[in-house]
Structure formats: C-alpha cells, structure tokens
Structure 1
Amino acid sequence: MNTTVCPRPMPGFRRDHTAITAETGNDRNPVAERHRRLDRLWMSCSSVHIRYGTTEDAEAVCDLAGQLAQSFPFSKARFHDSYAAVLSTDDACLLIAADSDGVLGYLLGVKHRTFYANGPVAWVEEILVRAEARGRGIGRALMQALERWAAQRNCALSALATRRAAPFYLALGYEESATYLRKVLPTRELP
C-alpha cells in the first residue's frame, strides 16, 4: 500500500472526536480556533490518515515516544505534562498517522523565530512510525504534512537532526547543512 498526501483538504471535514466543530465557528477557545485554521491541512489517503493529535491520542503517542527515547530515561508523567502543553500552543504541530487499527506514527514539529532565515523556521523534534508500518510512505506523508503546516505559517525552511535516517530525509529533498551539537543541562526535579 502506498500512502500519499492528498493535494487538498477533505471537504466538509468535521472533528467529531473532539469538541471542535469547524462548521459552526461557535467555539471561541483559542485552541479550537487554531484547529479550525489547521483543518485545511487535513489529509486522508488510502486507509492511512494524517491528522492533528488530540487528547485521545495521548496514550498511543506516549507508547511510541517511549520507544524513541534513547538519550534520557522516559517519564510518563513528564510526557503527559509536555503533551498537554504541545496541544495548547500555536507554535507546535503534533501530527498523527492512523488507520482503522489505531495510531501508526506521529510527528512533533515546532515553529520558532530566527534571525538567519529572516523569520520563522520549522523544526522536526520527533518522528516515529511503528516498525511494522514502515516502508508504506507514512513517514513521507507525515513530513509532507509538517511542511504544509510550516508553509502556512510562512516558515522559511523545515529542518531536523537525525542519526540513522539521513538517506530517508535526503530522498525527501533535505540537504545536509550543519553538525548537530548538544549539551545536556542539569535539571531540577519536578514536584
């Protein structure tokens, strides 16, 4: 099965699984407003759907994020704090790849301002597709959806760091640009 990103949004799409209804416009919640603006990015092809994350996806994303964590011990409590914060900001994009059996993967991207690019850029923080679902175009579809989200926010570029997947990103048109360096900082314990 090939998963592709549809060229235009699904007409009449409604988020029945949340309190957000794009048709009525009655909800003035800032997060609901954000989702109404983002509904234009909704894509569905074949049996795999790329959509925005909701509170109902938290446990499935938590399980996947635990698989991704290699540099730090994974904390479910800290995950849930971060998950709620991600859903509440316009500068984060949580995309879910799902089929009728459940969540197959996710992508977490953020938008931030820069001087070097004369404005905002998008950064892919995390992307993971379940091992059994790889090779079906799901990672590509998630990346394309993030790029559309970033373009709608006037981001000059999309970037990420990778250890093992450089050939995948090069095939999507990404170019090697810099060396990624990091320094782990001491953290204080949360109450």
Structure 2
Amino acid sequence: MTIQTPPSLPSEDAAWVRVTTPLSTQKLREFCRDLERFYRINPLLEFAQWRSIGPNHYALEAKNLSNGQQIATEMQLNETDNGFKITYTTGLKTATLIHIETQTDVKGTVLVIIDDYSGLPEAKRTQRLAEVDRSLEAWGQELYRYLHKWQRWAWFPPYRWYMGLWQSMKPMARRIAYTLIIITLFEFIAFLMIVGFWVIIDK
C-alpha cells in the first residue's frame, strides 16, 4: 500500500507518493537503477520508444494516459545519497526524485517518488496545468504490487521470463494478457475436475 505521510519536498510545486517495499536498501537501489523498467511499471504510461543515448542518459517517447499528453524528452539519471534524481529536458515537469528510506519498526524500506514542477515561472506553470502528470498515485500502487510479487517470486525463472515479457507490453495488452491467463487457468482447473470425475465414475 502507499503511505501518505508528506516527505521533505524540493519546492511547493511538487507531487509525491510513498510506497512500502519488502526490499532492502541495496536491493531497492539496484531495482530503481533500471530506469526503463521503473518507468514501464507505470500503468498510465504508454511507451512508443525508449533509447539509451549515453551513460545514464535516455530518450523517452510515450503517451501519458492520465492527462492525454504526448511525451518526448531526454532524461538524465543522477545518483544521490538517498536515491536518484531524474531531470527532463522538455515538458512541465522539471525532475523526478527517488528517495529510499529505511524503516526502523518493520523489515523493508519506503520508496518515495517526488515530481518537481518548479523549473518554470509560476505564470507559465499555470498556463500549462493540462501537462501535470496525474499518474503518480497509480504508479505508486503498481510499484507496490510489483515489488511485493518480485520479492516473492523472482527466484522462479518462468516468473522472471513472464515479467520481462510483461514489461514490454502496453498497459492495455497487460490487462488482456492477465485476463487470458485467468481464463486459461479456470479452464485447466475445470478440465482436471472433469477428468477426475470420470476417473471416479470408471472405478
């Protein structure tokens, strides 16, 4: 689940989400370093292209389904003491901060994602409110589910293979694939029940 305790924000014009994770600080940092996977987990971001154009430097083209905006920007990943900072070359959003916090009372960590919009003058930000990214909460919820499942099943090779395939899918394709898997599973269970019934009858 996401935790709604306000973090320390870089500016007044910022949005944030906090996510509890079962990972250690080191494992969560390694997970976040894979920036393409990190962004593809966002269920409201439909990728058109992702390219590496230099060390920790990427180009992203996508559609943000939360606001209908097309995204075409370069992203620079920089490591910080408590996580990462991703800066953008275009768009209303100036940067995304990833903070990793330890938990003293329970096992695991807290992942904090902060979208900073303070790079433009306030008047220009007001004129471009349609570009505000409204996917942050959905992203946090999906990260929570992903990380808890990953902690439980990453040891299983077929699961890792499926998640690699899942990562490349568009959000709609993921929902369709999930539905087909559930239907197939129920059909298989029904088949086993019918076979078992006839085995009992034959005896």
TM-score after normalising by structure 2: 0.31
Query: Relative to total residues, which structure has the larger strand share, 1 or 2?
Result: 2
* Higher relative contact order (Cα pairs below 8 Å, separated by 6+ residues): 2
Larger Rg: 2
Q: Which has a greater percent of helix? A: 2
